Structure 1
Amino acid sequence: MTAAVSTGPLLADGFGRRFPYLRLSLTEACNFSCSYCLPDGYQADGRPRFLEVDEIGRLVRAFATLGMHKIRLTGGEPSLRRDLDQIIERVAGTPGIRKVAITTNGTLLPRRLPGWHRAGLTALNVSMDSLRRERFHAITGHDRLPEILEGLELAQAIGLPSVKLNAVLLRGLNDDELPAWMEFLRERPLSVRFIELMRTGDNADYFQRHHLSASTVVEQLLAAGWRLRPRAADAGPAREYTHPAHRGSIGVIAPYSQDFCQGCNRLRVTARGDLRLCLFGEFGVPLRPLLQHDDDRDALLARITTQLGLKAAGHGLHQGRTGLTPNLASIGG
């Protein structure tokens, strides 16, 4: 069967939320050892390999048929995939897909970003938890900030339409850097997202020591004259703030805010091919068996659409329920 590409999002749950946005993990492996995620580094478990290019192609075609038009490639660290250029090209060439984004730690940007851009990449998110080199090293376990800054300059030079930075907000480690970030954004047309530290399956003690409510950043932004910008339909979870004296913007991702899940517009697929209805959900839905042949497309579409009826109204973080997520590298945040 050859299904026509949808002109609008057909995926909707029982709460009226629609889903034009898929976060697709390409690998669980990561070459960083961030203190809030993989403090001991990535440990391979020897289980089956991650999704291959043809499987990814069938998966993305199915979601595009159901109205999705934005795909974000995540990890782990997706740049560890040697076939990443080929994956981006396959995703970008899928009818109906208009935005192809990647979230990366940025260390390979100087070498690989031009190839990704030629393959069809339209948006870049780079994890950068501090503007201070020694702090960046302490948080990530790697002294790689210069390469990342070089990569950001390259991204602007080649005209990538969207460039954003992600900084996990950590009490006592980087929570005093907002003024420096504001100055950084004065002449740079970038967006920085402050992400509230989330409790996962294996970071309970760290969370207690370093969690800081994202509301503290919002209060400082408003006091400094920054104002909330309207949210696009296919935007991520950040609430974005702008200032007339700054070319860049600042986003705040606050998963513990009361209404955080009301605007959910994204689904996730793990690197092993499981559909996750929520980052902190209690179960995964195996899609990989239906990604082996084009003939399985109808069954794949049916499995995706029927599962949305099981999507909950919100996560259980407030009750300490972290679901299947042992760390964010396992599914890409």
Structure 2
Amino acid sequence: MLQDQFSRRFSYLRLSLTESCNFRCSYCLPNGNECHTRSNELTLPEIKRLVTAFAMAGTRKIRLTGGEPSLRRDLCEIISICKEVPGIETVAMTTNGYRLKRDISSWLDAGLDALNVSVDSLDPATFELITGQDKLAEILEGIELATELGIKKLKLNTVLLRQHNSGALPDFMDFVKHRAVTLRFIELMQTGDNNAFFARQHLSGDQIKQQLLAAGWLQAVKDKDAGPAQEFYHSSHQGGIGLIMPYSKDFCADCNRLRVSSLGELYLCLFTEQHRSLRHLLQQDQPLKVQQFLQQSLQFKSSSHQLSEQKTGATRHLAMIGG
């Protein structure tokens, strides 16, 4: 299995399918899509070779991200390709939900196991203010449909924004009371182009954590292969609530994921200063060379990001690599 110099093992690949997005989220692409051409996105054969090499190196979970991955017309083929690779146990996707209601059945038929949907507010006006889209009702209908169709894992992602949803915790708790879904609050992260916005809107997830504990929620014990979220549960709620707090102590200590962009560039960290292209290795079936490239690259992976020192690396905005 892929391992770095800090004995962290990497069994999880986040694969961006496109930098293009049709939302204008205030914390990511407030001025709209910055992807001017999609002609260089990874092809189906390249994706199959990439995922195969990662699987041979111990990767067990693939998450398809963007931009917005559902903008790829060949998305179902990509899901099927990933699902059919020996060793891949889970194919997940993160989406803004724009096409969820229409396409969830096709995604499930293609082999999708898990889905994260971005829902930054349960209030329609606030949702439109944050995302630039009046689509909340349709997205919530898509979430209900995904549940009815029996998706294995469903999570909602909410970026914490001081001026927009910091007081909405009671509404979110009510939402998961009778729904077997997990809602995760994600601390706003500073990127290369959002310094002023970050200063206005950043809210520590610890404030939400204290509110949860005060309301009788209990923190769950992490599984050894779990991601960075702190998970909470309540005896009277079917669903759970999680917190992703990248500014917390030792956040990177159990990192288990690597990222590849839609252009075939390896990111050792979401906030790395450098990235390395491996696309030239995907032109032929040579998985051993890809594995060697990955293992050699991991020797340059840092023990932690440097967000606390306001060093955001080369990531201008999260649509570049999917968060």
Q: Shorter-chain TM-score: what band? A: over 0.9
SS at structure 1 position matched to 2:252: helix
State the partner residue of 1:240. Answer: 231
**Is 2:122 the partner of 1:149?**
no
2:81 pairs, out of 90, 95, 106, with 90
**Is 2:312 the partner of 1:322?**
yes
CA displacement 1:63-107 (0-9 Å, x = unmatched): 000111000000000000000000000000000000000000011
State the partner residue of 1:22. Answer: 13
1:258 pairs, out of 214, 225, 249, with 249
> Aligned equivalents of 1:164 and 1:29: distance in 2?
22
State the partner residue of 2:164. Answer: 173
SS at structure 1 position matched to 2:146: helix
1:32 pairs, out of 23, 30, 55, with 23
**Is 2:128 the partner of 1:137?**
yes
State the partner residue of 1:5. Answer: none
State the partner residue of 1:299. Answer: 289
Amino acid at match of 1:58: R
Amino acid at match of 1:103: T
**Is 2:197 the partner of 1:206?**
yes
CA RMSD of aligned residues (A): 1.0
> Aligned equivalents of 1:234 and 1:84: distance in 2?
27
SS at structure 2 position matched to 1:267: strand
Q: Give the CA deviation at 1:200.
A: 0.2
1:279 pairs, out of 270, 274, 277, with 270
Query: For the Cα contact (< 8 Å) 1:129–1:174, is it kept in 2?
Result: yes
> Aligned equivalents of 1:233 and 1:202: distance in 2?
35
State the partner residue of 1:104. Answer: 95
1:312 pairs, out of 294, 297, 302, with 302
Q: Give the CA deviation at 1:236.
A: 2.6
> Aligned equivalents of 1:204 and 1:245: distance in 2?
40
Runs of at least 4 residues of structure 1 off by over 3 A? Answer: 45-48
> Aligned equivalents of 1:207 and 1:230: distance in 2?
31
> Aligned equivalents of 2:177 and 2:19: distance in 1?
35
Q: Give the CA deviation at 1:143.
A: 0.3
Query: For the Cα contact (< 8 Å) 2:18–2:38, is it kept in 1?
Result: no
Q: Give the CA deviation at 1:235.
A: 2.9
> Aligned equivalents of 2:37 and 2:95: distance in 1?
23
SS at structure 2 position matched to 1:262: coil
CA displacement 1:51-71 (0-9 Å, x = unmatched): 111101000000000111000
Which 5+ residue runs of structure 1 have no aligned equivalent? 1-9
Tell me how many residue pairs correspond in the alignment. 323
> Aligned equivalents of 1:46 and 1:140: distance in 2?
22
> Aligned equivalents of 1:237 and 1:160: distance in 2?
22
**Is 2:289 the partner of 1:331?**
no
> Aligned equivalents of 1:148 and 1:47: distance in 2?
26
Amino acid at match of 1:38: L
> Aligned equivalents of 1:110 and 1:258: distance in 2?
39
State the partner residue of 2:115. Answer: 124
> Aligned equivalents of 2:201 and 2:59: distance in 1?
36
Q: Give the CA deviation at 1:110.
A: 1.1
Percent sequence identity over matched residues? 54
Which 5+ residue runs of structure 2 have no aligned equivalent? none
